[in-house]
Structures are given as structure tokens and as C-alpha cells.
Amino acid sequence: MTQDPEKNPYRPGVGVRPLYLAGRQAPLRRFGAMLRAAPEQQANMRVTGLRGVGKTVLLEAFADRAQELDWEPAFLELQPSHNTDNSIDVTLRSLLERSRRRLSRLARLRSVAGKALRSASLSVSWEEVSLSASFGSVREQELAREMFRTVELALAKDRIGIVLLLDEAQLVRDERDRHGEHPLSLLLAPLVALQRQELPLSLVVCGLPTLTGNLQKARSYSERLFRDEEIGSLAPEQALDAFTRPLEQAGRRTDIALAKSVVEEVEGYPYFLQLWGSELWDGADLAGIDRLTLDLLEVTRPEIYSRLDRDFYDPRVATLTPAEQDLLFATASCRYPPLSSSELNQTSAKTPGNVNVLLSRLVDAGALYRIRKGEYAYTAPKFREYLLRRAQCLTT
């Protein structure tokens, strides 16, 4: 299908699917294979990556693939407010209830359309599950019951099972205090108990790299519970496809030298490919030309970086306290990668204790993630270049 030649074919945004999804065929195949192996094998996946690599888009593509395979997807974007036992409990119950309503509505539509639904039932009853599983709390048992009911209805309505797809999952984490909040454990405990009974229930959690550590702290066996899918930048050929295919669908052209230059400049990051393409398209319109060229890139580059800073980086810095901002800007003068807390102690005027506290707060705020003890990395691609640009603006 040819794109309207007057409409910009690029889609920079949050979770906005591009016209052509490049380089994600392998994760989609692995997701499909995981569902086909369920419920005899636990069907759980952990998707991690930096901001701007297309995790949300991939998660939505997983939802589409699940439907193609006759699984019922239940998609939810988690928020900071969900990081309590009560909130995650209420939110998951609401998600499961919405899934049951949707299943019932689809069943009625299929019945009207004349499609016969096959009769299916679980091989175990809820009583067998509750008696054989060891639930740590009444809340865990009740949440497990809601999951069981939803799977039971899905089977009765001609579905193979339920897939829970949770985006921004790094926002939910357990407290260290055993008497504190443990929302991640509350999510995992009933799921694992039901999967051990071979119920067709799948979980995909998606988020920043800090998600891996959060899961490990909640369940020491999480590396065996989840299949790991780390999403990064696209390979050069994939990135070229992501940049040029939308143009082809819109009936416009680009110099191959320009396309390769953009791919190299943005290091293959999907969001940046869409942003560069969108700005170059608008620049070509203003110039009255129908071809993207290197000369156009040179003219447009200042506006591209201005928009990148305003839309992608500035909001992340604006939410930080002045002290957190000071330390974050100080990281730009350190060697990278990785960021070393010992080097920050030497370059920053703050005390080592204060540096460590602020680093932890920057991790919680999603600006950094901890690679290992004393070593950190940025959660957004090319963030260091942005900090250097900002520092230069502040001193001129």
C-alpha cells in the first residue's frame, strides 16, 4: 500500500508503531515459539532495553502475534503509582476483569457470526490448585483465583490461554524490608503457582535494564523463570530498511549516501531514525524538493537536535532535583562507558556518601542503571552527548 505522498510517513513518538517494523522478526519468532511450548514449559519473557529502542512497539507486536496464535493478550502500561501491594493487586484484578469482559463480548460476536466455539476445560480445578500451591498471603491466593478464572474463561471461549503484557515494569519493585511493600512478588507468586499446574498463562514484562535486577531481588530463580530478550539498536542493514521503507511507501526518494549518514549518526536507534526522517521530510517540504539529500541534512541538523533535546532528553532532566541534575551533568566529564562512582568521587565536589545516595536516586528516577557495583550507564542512548551540549549552552 502506497503512503499518501503529502503525509509525513515517519512516526517518532511513544509506543507509535512505524510503517515498517525493521529488525524485530527474531524476537517475534522466539515469542511465538515460547507460546507454542506452553503450558508444559513456562511461557515468561523479560524484554529490556534503553529508551528509544522500540520496546513498547515490540510488546504491541507481541500482542498481535498472540492473537494470531489464539492466545488472549492483556496489555498494561505500569505507572509509578502501581508500586505498592494494594495498587498492583487492584490494577491486575482490573486488567483481568477487562480481559474477561472482552472474551465474553468476542464470544457473543462469534456466535452471531455463526462460528461454533469448542468446549474446553482445565484439567485441574481451583480447589486442586489452592490446595497444592503454597500462597504466602490471602491476597496472593485471591489474585491467583482471578488469574485462574480468566484462563478458565479463555479456554471456554476458544482461546489457548492468557498472555499478560506489562510495559514499564521496572517501575514495580520490592522493598528490602520484609515488612515493606512487595508488589513484584505479589505479581509473580500466583503466576508461578498456576504455571506449575500447567495452566496456559504467560507473562511478558518489559522495561529498562533495571528490571532484571528487580526481578532477581524479588525471586532468586528469575533467571530460570524468564526468557531474556534484550532489545538494542538496529544493525546497519535493518536501520537502512527502517529509514528508507517509509519513504518508498510514500513515493519519495533519498540519496543512499544520506540514508547511510543518518544510520551512522543515530547509531541505529529506532526512535532517532523516525525523528531524523520526520524532520528531513518536513525540511524537504519547506524547500519544495521531493528527495532527501546530504545538503538537506546539513541544513536541518540544528532543528533535529533541538527537537531531540526538547522532546526526548529535557523531560528526563526536568523531573530531577537540583542536586541530582548537578551530579548527572558531572557524569558527562567522566570516561564512558561505564560511569564509575570512584571517578565521580574525584570529579564531583560532593562527598562520596552524597554521590552514592544521588546515584541511587538517579537509578530510581530512570536516568541511570547500575551495571555492577560502582559502575553505571545511561538509560537513554547518546544521553552523554546531550549533557555535553547542555553544559556548553550553560557556559556560553
Q: How far is CA 126 from CA 6, 53, 120, 396, in A?
A: 57, 41, 15, 68
Whether the CB-CB separation of 330 and 344 falls below 8 Å is answered with yes
The DSSP code sequence of 330-362 is: HHTTS-SSSEEHHHHHHH-SS-HHHHHHHHHHH
For the four alpha carbons of 212, 218, 222 and 226, in that order, the dihedral sign comes to negative
The secondary element (H helix, E strand) that includes residue 378 is strand 375-378
Instruction: Determine what percent of the chain is predicted with pLDDT higher than 70.
Output: 94
* Dist. CA 334–CA 340, nearest whole Å: 8
- 372 to each of 165, 173, 353, how far by Cα in Å? 28, 18, 18
Among 227, 206, 266, 213, which Cα is nearest to 376's? 213
Could you count the other beta carbons within 10 Å of the beta carbon of residue 315? 9
Report the distance separating Cα 380 and Cα 377, nearest Å: 9
CB 78 within 8 A of CB 171: yes
What predicted TM-score, i.e. pTM, was given to this entire model?
A: 0.90
CA distance 241 to 22: 7
Cell matching residue 262: 543518518
C-alpha span between 284 and 279 (Å, rounded): 9
DSSP string, 144-176: HHHHHHHHHHHHHTT-SEEEEEEESGGG----S
Rounded distance between C-alpha atoms, residue 179 and residue 202, angstroms: 29
Question: What pLDDT sits at residue 110?
Answer: 57
| Residue 77 phi, psi (nearest 5) | -95, 115
Q: Residue 161's beta-bridge partner residues? A: 71
- Give me the average pLDDT of each 10-residue run along the chain (396 residues): 71 90 96 96 97 96 97 97 96 97 76 44 78 83 95 94 97 91 95 94 97 92 92 97 93 92 97 96 92 95 95 93 94 92 90 93 93 94 93 65
Q: Which of 270, 341, 263, 199 is nearest to 23 (CA)?
A: 270
What integer pLDDT is reported at residue 392 of this predicted model? 76
Residue from 86, 94, 63 nearest 164 by CA:
63
Closest listed residue to residue 258, CA positions, set 237, 278, 240: 240
pLDDT at 20: 93
User: What is the pLDDT at residue 221?
Assistant: 86
* Residue 82 per-residue DSSP state: G
Cα–Cα distance for residue pair 18/26, rounded to 1 Å: 17
Confidence at residue 189, expressed as pLDDT on a 0 to 100 scale: 93
Residue 113: its pLDDT value, please?
Answer: 44
**Cβ neighbours for 110, distance < 8 A, ≥ 6 positions apart:** 117, 158
Residue 198, Cβ density class (10 Å: 0-12 exposed, 13-18 middle, ≥19 buried): middle
**Residue 326, exposed/middle/buried by CB under 10 A (0-12, 13-18, 19+)?**
middle
Written as nine digits, the cell of 362 is: 538517579
> In 10 A of CB 12, how many CB atoms?
22
